[in-house]
Amino acid sequence: MDLHFSEEQQQFRAQLRDWLKDNLERRWIEELRDPSNDQKKLFDIRRSWQGKLNAAGYLGIHWPKKWGGRGLTVVEQAIFAAETIHAPPIASRVGINLLGPALIHHGTEEQRRRFVPKMLSGEEVWCQGFSEPEAGSDLAALRTRAIPDGDDFRLEGQKVWTTFAPWSDWIFVLARTDPEDRYGGITFFLVSLHQEGIEVRPIRQMTGESEFGEVFFDGALAKREHIIGAVGEGWPIAMTVLAYERGSMSLAHPARFDHYLQDLVKGVRQNGTIQRADVREKIARLLVENEVMRANGFRTLASLVSGQAPGPEASLEKVFWSEYSRHLADTALELLGFQAHSLVRSPSARAEMDWGHEALYCRAVTIYAGSSEIQRNIISKRILKLPSS
Ligand SMILES: Cc1cc2nc3c(=O)[nH]c(=O)nc-3n(C[C@H](O)[C@H](O)[C@H](O)COP(=O)(O)OP(=O)(O)OC[C@H]3O[C@@H](n4cnc5c(N)ncnc54)[C@H](O)[C@@H]3O)c2cc1C
């Protein structure tokens, strides 16, 4: 395993840093703190930042050039994610990270031509319609039906926890085309949200935002030409969708936590508790664990670059960074006291890091993209080979 970046990769990073210096006018935390930015405005900032990145060739970095990518590797993608932690998150994160690679691998030429360019530019924002009220960890229990109607289908049912649904233009939906066949009866549709028969109800989170929502289908049109793969082939495609994302965040999480840890150290210096041995020990542990995470991230990248398919080891990474996020935020609340609890727009909030928001938001990270319990099941069965009962 080589832990060094190649000369070209270092050059890529240097160019990106220069580009960010010239183009990133305000850090994301400053946008969040600006009281004139409501949720709609914040989303527009994300969309316009995405447009800038796309014009400069910084989206789809490891996608083929033919499809608007840069034709580089997952290492450059990981460098990009680590260098841009202070920038606004892109608007079509779900589309570009999850659906884009699925379209490139499983879509038809016509589907790629129709959807990929507008996904990259941010003109069309996507959300993911997989989970339902009774189908989360057990996704194959989904009940949304796609009922044949002439050449096409009509959707009936409900999705939930759909990130960005209130702001999206399109949704990729898993729907049941055969109620008798648990896995073979699922089809993968691309569906416009701007039509009759669809209602999106935002869900208010405990952070105060409405980043996700419920999506209700009542006879919405799902066109046959917009099925990815064939009717009944949705399950294996859905399973690969999540695998595409692996590796790209391997360096970004430790980079983000470096920044958080610096803020925490600054805070305990200011309040004087750094003098206490137990406080220093807590922080030292967090620093060491972050280095372990970084080393593991390099390992993931090295194996992806050497051509190995992402395996169950990705579950180790997911459990580690998500549980770490919660541990770090809880420690900050404990050590920084009142100031850490103030939310971003409060006048007494910390200037750099919004621990109040982070502590509330990170309750979600051990749930989405496969909960910690599900990841531990994968680790115990597929890595440790423990019996299932
Ligand atoms: C912030 C956020 C954003 C999300 N965005 C999207 C999105 O854009 N699109 C989308 O489709 N979904 C999205 N989700 C949904 C997410 O995928 C589900 O919440 C997740 O799969 C868990 O499903 P569930 O909520 O139904 O919980 P359940 O599956 O009902 O699980 C409840 C609890 O039981 C545990 N559990 C379940 N099964 C087992 C088992 N076999 N062994 C041990 N423990 C088990 C779980 O770990 C959990 O603690 C999002 C969720 C969150 C929190």
Residue 246: predicted pLDDT: 66
Which active-site residues does the annotation give? 245
pTM of the model: 0.94
- Position 341 confidence tier, pLDDT thresholds 50, 70, 90: confident
**Residue 128 CB–ligand 1 contact under 6 Å:** yes
* Cβ of 380 less than 6 Å from ligand 1: no
Question: Ligand 1 mean position to 367 CA, how many Å?
Answer: 5
The secondary structure of 192-255 as a DSSP string is: ESSSTTEEEEEE--TTS---EEEEEEEEEEE-GGGEESSTT-HHHHHHHHHHHTTTTTTTHHHH
Mean pLDDT of 287-315: 86
Q: Report the residue among 92, 131, 134 best suited for mutation to probe ligand 1: largest number of ligand atoms under 8 A from its CB.
A: 131
Report the pLDDT value the prediction gives residue 35, as an integer from 0 to 100.
86
- Tell me which of 48-57, 165-174, 301-310, 372-381 is least confident: 301-310
Q: How far is the CA of 292 from the centre of ligand 1 (A)?
A: 27
Question: What is the C-alpha separation between 50 and 132, in angstroms, rounded?
Answer: 29
pLDDT score of 155:
98
Per-residue confidence at 90, pLDDT binned at 50, 70, 90? very high
CB of 163 within 6 A of ligand 1: the answer is yes
Are the beta carbons of 155 and 177 closer than 8 angstroms? no
Residues 200, 237: Cα–Cα separation, whole Å: 25
- The pLDDT assigned to 245 comes to 65
Is 12 near ligand 1, meaning CB less than 6 Å away? no
User: Quick check: 319 pLDDT over 80?
Assistant: yes
Q: Rounded to whole angstroms, how far apart are CA atoms 362 and 358?
A: 6
Query: For strand 152-163 and strand 198-203, is the pairing parallel, antiparallel, or unpaired?
Result: unpaired
Q: Which atom of ligand 1 is nearest to the CA of 373?
A: 47
Q: Could you tell me the two tokens for 263? A: 């803020």
% of the chain surpassing 90 pLDDT: 77
Q: Give the type of residue at 377.
A: N
Whether residue 37 has its Cβ less than 6 Å from ligand 1: no
- For the chain, count helices (H), then strands (E): 14, 8
Which residue has better confidence, 337 or 156? 156
Give dist(CA 30, CA 16) in Å, integer: 21
Tell me the pLDDT of the chain averaged across its residues: 92
pLDDT digits (tens, 9 = 90+) for 218-256: 999 999 999 999 999 999 999 888 776 666 788 899 999
Q: Which pLDDT does position 237 carry in this prediction? A: 93
Q: How far is the CA of 139 from the centre of ligand 1 (A)?
A: 9
Q: How far is the CA of 135 from the centre of ligand 1 (A)?
A: 8
Protein residue whose Cα sits closest to atom 38 of ligand 1: 137
Q: Does the pLDDT of residue 389 top 80, yes or no? A: no
| Ordered structural domains, the chain, with CATH | 7-91 (no CATH), 126-242 (2.40.110.10), 246-383 (1.20.140.10)
Report the distance separating Cα 338 and Cα 331, nearest Å. Answer: 13
The answer, yes or no, to whether any atom of ligand 1 lies below 6 A from the CB of 203, is no
